[in-house]
Amino acid sequence: MNPLLANQVPSPSRRLTVLCAAKLHKNQLERHLELLERLELVERIIVVRHEPLPERLSKLENVSFGAGNLARSAIRMLQSVDETLQHRPVDWVLGLNPVPWGALAALVARRRKVSTCLSLIGRDYLQVQRPWALPFVQALRKADRVTTTGRSMLDGVVKLGVAKERTFILPHSVDLERFQPQVGPAEYEIVSVGQLIARKRMDVLVRALGLLRSRGIQLRLALLGQGPEEAKLRALVSELGLEQQVSFLGYRDDVEKVVAKARLFALVSAWEGVPFALMEAMASGVVPVVTSVGTIGDWVIDGKNGRIVPVDDAARLAEVLFQLQADGGKELEALRRSLLEEREAFGLARGVEVWRRILSPLR
Return the CATH superfamily for domain 188-346.
Glycogen Phosphorylase B; (3.40.50.2000)
Question: The whole model's pTM is what?
Answer: 0.86
Number of H helices, E strands in the chain: 13, 13
User: 149: phi > 0 → left, psi -120 to 50 → alpha, else beta; which?
Assistant: alpha
Which pLDDT score, from 0 to 100, does residue 328 have?
85
pLDDT value of position 246 = 97
pLDDT of residue 1: 34
Instruction: Express each pLDDT in 278-336 by its tens digit.
Output: 999 999 999 999 999 988 999 999 999 999 999 999 999 999 999 999 888 999 999 99
Mean pLDDT calculated for residue range 214-219: 94
- Distance separating alpha carbons of residues 232 and 241, to the nearest angstrom: 14
Q: Is 9 exposed, middle or buried (0-12, 13-18, 19+ CB in 10 A)?
A: exposed
Domain ranges of the chain: 16-173+348-358, 188-346
Residue 13 is predicted with a pLDDT of 61
pLDDT score, position 27: 84
**The CATH number of domain 16-173+348-358 is 3.40.47.10:** no
Yes or no: say if 356 and 41 are a contact pair by the CB < 8 Å rule.
Answer: yes
The yes-or-no verdict on residue 7 having pLDDT over 70 is no
DSSP strands (E only) in 251-302: 262-267, 287-291
pLDDT on residue 10: 43
Average pLDDT over residues 205-214: 97
Give residue 331's pLDDT.
96
- Cα–Cα distance, 268 to 192 (Å, whole number): 9
Residue 2 or 77, more confident = 77
Going by pLDDT thresholds of 50, 70 and 90, the confidence category of residue 11 is very low
Mean pLDDT of the chain: 91
User: How are the residues of the chain apportioned to helix, strand and coil, as percentages rounded to the nearest 5?
Assistant: 45, 20, 40
The domains spanning 16-173+348-358 and 188-346 adopt the same CATH topology: yes
Report pLDDT for 26: 87
pLDDT for 185 equals 85
The C-alpha angle with vertex 96 and arms to 94 and 97, in degrees rounded to 5, equals 135
**Cα distance between residue 80 and residue 64, in whole Å:** 8
CA 2 to chain centre: 17
pLDDT attached to residue 53 = 92
Residue 147 has a pLDDT of: 96
**H or E element in which residue 222 lies:** strand 221-224
Say which residues have a Cβ less than 8 Å from residue 281's Cβ, sequence separation at least 6: 179, 191, 193, 259, 262, 265, 288
Compute the distance between CA of residue 315 and CA of residue 205 in angstroms, rounded to an integer: 10
| pLDDT, mean of residues 237-258 | 94
Q: Yes or no: say if 287 and 336 are a contact pair by the CB < 8 Å rule.
A: yes
144-179: pLDDT as tens digits: 999 999 898 999 999 999 999 999 999 889 999 999
Question: pLDDT by residue (tens digit) across 92-132?
Answer: 999 988 899 899 999 999 999 999 999 998 788 889 989 99
Helix (H, G, I), strand (E, B) or coil at 309: strand
Q: Whose CA is closest to 170, among 355, 318, 30, 342?
A: 355
How much is the pLDDT for 33? 95
Q: What angle do CA 128, 131, 132 make, to 5 degrees?
A: 75
